[in-house]
Amino acid sequence: MIPDLIGPWLAELHRSTGLNFVVFYDGFEYRRFVAGAVLSLQLIAAALAVSLVVGVIGAWAQGARLAPVRWLMGAYIEVFRNTPPMVQMLFFYFALGAYTPQIDAGGYYEPMITAFGWALISLGVFGGAFNVEIFRAGLEAVPKSTHEAAESLGFSRWQIYLYVTLPLAFRISLPALTNNLVSLAKTTSLAYVISVPEMTFTLSRVWSDHVNVPEMMLVLFVFYVGIVTIIAAGLHLLERRLALPGYGQ
Amino acid sequence: MSARAFRLPAALARPGAPALMPRPRLWMGLVLLAGFALSVAVAEAQQAAAGRPGALAVLRQWTPFILQGFALNLGMSFLAMAIATVLGLGLGLMQIARSPVLRLPAKFVTHLFRNSPWLVILFAVMYLTPFQMRLPQLGLVMIPDWVKATAAFSLPVMANISEILRGAVNSIPKGQWESAESLAFTRGQTLREIILPQCIKRMIPAWMNWYALLALATPMASILGVHEAVGNAQAAMEAAGSRPEFLGPFYLFLMGLFFVYIYPISLLTRRLERRYAVTL
């Protein structure tokens, strides 16, 4: 455990220099920090997953034969891309949250969808609006001739979509997708505004308790830059693994 | 089939560039307005039955106050964009410098601010910069919160503009550098007279896209007590009695406000993007 490992040294650092990295030597604050970090990671992972699902379904809906479905999809994309994500989150949590049913939690009532749930929905829908466009552009970039070649080999419509178009479209979309997922991971810090106790919120509590803003700010920067680096590195690795031999630079 | 077939259009592959969109239509905006009108009408009918001023009446009463706040959003976004453009271009030029003394710090700053959440940067600037400053003529001057928020918003945009410049310079074919060299242009001359003029056109759509993102981020300033549109709307709801039925209309109104301003910008961005699309 970190407090056992470097705790004494950090406590000494605090005594001698005043630099107070309290979350790494105090047991209570350490548990608070870990809880915040875990919640942040959960929120990031879930928001990315929801946004991907929304993106895939949306890209499919944009190619729908029914015109109203395409219109609704277009309106959804435009609204969520061109309004502030923070106001979207406030709207989801406060305006829609007021209408969700309460459930009996043994004597007292709890909203069916928690703040975390609303943050997840709002972030997934926001990030999904961008993913729809990315996937659609990828699908459109697959050359017609590939489609025709598959057709001439006797593939059915679904087989072409599943085995030819989709794998190629995914590879084409990857660079743009990486950008958007990274940006979405950073946007999860907005859950602060609806008091989801993720990293930003947790550390802001810590620095108001201990008046150690610079130190906690440093921890916060390291946390997010670290996460973004890991996500970007993972997706770049995937990009290289999936690269088509003979294509691209 | 050429190798090019498997690549994204250049505009999409560039970091920070918006995805290409289908032909946008006026009705997309109308859908938002219709949703807004519907929710307000429902709330209004409920309140009229209860004999209190409805949410719509309250909203109408407080609209000037919210618009006043929105003016600050616009002001912050203009100012932050100006700062970000100047600093970002400088940082971008440092990034493409040959000397590691210039290049490495510029790369570090770019990556730090590109990879941190806006909110964290906002907190850092708000809490870690002094709230007052001693100026030579004026003595001790308080720095208003909105000025600090503006400075904070300019930092991530600065880093992204720096990256856009680097990307644009890299997108110019290498042959141009070589031909310029064979014509005895120095590196500075090549950059000033050949490379950068071509970059400007390529950078404009991405630059506008970042302006839109910046304007959409300005409501975060309300978290730290800046009286912009969202902060004012929340204050208005509180002043009018904090009734839960205010929340829907007020937040939808805010979304509509930003949408009306940002949507034309994003339409123009897409049009320019198509016009300036780099054909390889």
Q: Are B224 and B151 in contact (CB under 8 A)?
A: no
Sign of the CA dihedral with A174 first, then A175, A179, and A180 last: negative
Domains for chain B: give ranges and CATH numbers.
26-275 (1.10.3720.10)
Q: Examine residue A235 and state whether it is found in any structural domain, yes or no.
A: no
Q: Examine residue A81 and state whether it is found in any structural domain, yes or no.
A: yes
Q: Examine residue A27 and state whether it is found in any structural domain, yes or no.
A: no
Q: Examine residue A39 and state whether it is found in any structural domain, yes or no.
A: no
Q: Chain A closest CA to B247's CA: distance in Å?
A: 5
Q: Examine residue A226 and state whether it is found in any structural domain, yes or no.
A: no
Contact residues, B window 164-223, toward A, CB-based 8 Å cutoff: 212, 216-220, 223
- Given pLDDT bands bounded at 50, 70 and 90, which one contains residue B112? very high
> Could you report the predicted ipTM of this complex, rounded to two decimals?
0.88
Q: Are B214 and B75 in contact (CB under 8 A)?
A: no
CATH number at residue A186: 1.10.3720.10
Question: Total structural domains in chain A?
Answer: 1
Q: Examine residue A5 and state whether it is found in any structural domain, yes or no.
A: no
Q: Examine residue A137 and state whether it is found in any structural domain, yes or no.
A: yes
Q: How far, in Å, CA of B240 to CA of B110, rounded?
A: 44
pTM for this predicted structure: 0.85
Q: How far, in Å, CA of A232 to CA of A20, rounded?
A: 31
SS (H, E, C) A100-158: CCEEECCCCEEECCCHHHHHHHHHHHHHHHHHHHHHHHHHHHCCHHHHHHHHHCCCCHH
Q: Examine residue A141 and state whether it is found in any structural domain, yes or no.
A: yes
Provide the greatest CA pair distance for chain A.
77
Of the candidates B21, B56, B57, B26, which has an alpha carbon nearest to the alpha carbon of residue B259? Answer: B26
Q: Which chain A residues are within 8 Å of B118, Cβ to Cβ? A: 186, 189
**B27 and A75: CB-CB below 8 Å?**
yes
Q: Chain B closest CA to A206's CA: distance in Å?
A: 14
- The predicted pLDDT at position B17 comes to 43
**B260 part of contact set with chain A, CB < 8 Å:** no
Sign of the CA dihedral with A54 first, then A59, A63, and A69 last: positive
| pLDDT tens figures, A41-51 | 999 999 999 99
pLDDT exceeds cutoff 60 at B20: no
Specify whether the backbone of B173 is left (phi greater than 0), alpha (psi in -120 to 50) or beta: beta
Residue A153 belongs to what domain range? Answer: 45-210
Q: What is the pLDDT along chain A (249 residues), one digit of tens a residue?
A: 777 778 888 888 888 888 888 888 888 889 999 999 999 999 999 999 999 999 989 988 887 788 888 888 999 999 999 999 999 999 999 988 877 778 777 777 777 788 999 999 999 999 999 999 999 989 888 888 998 999 999 999 888 888 988 888 888 899 899 999 999 999 999 999 999 999 999 999 999 998 889 999 999 999 999 999 999 999 999 988 988 776 654
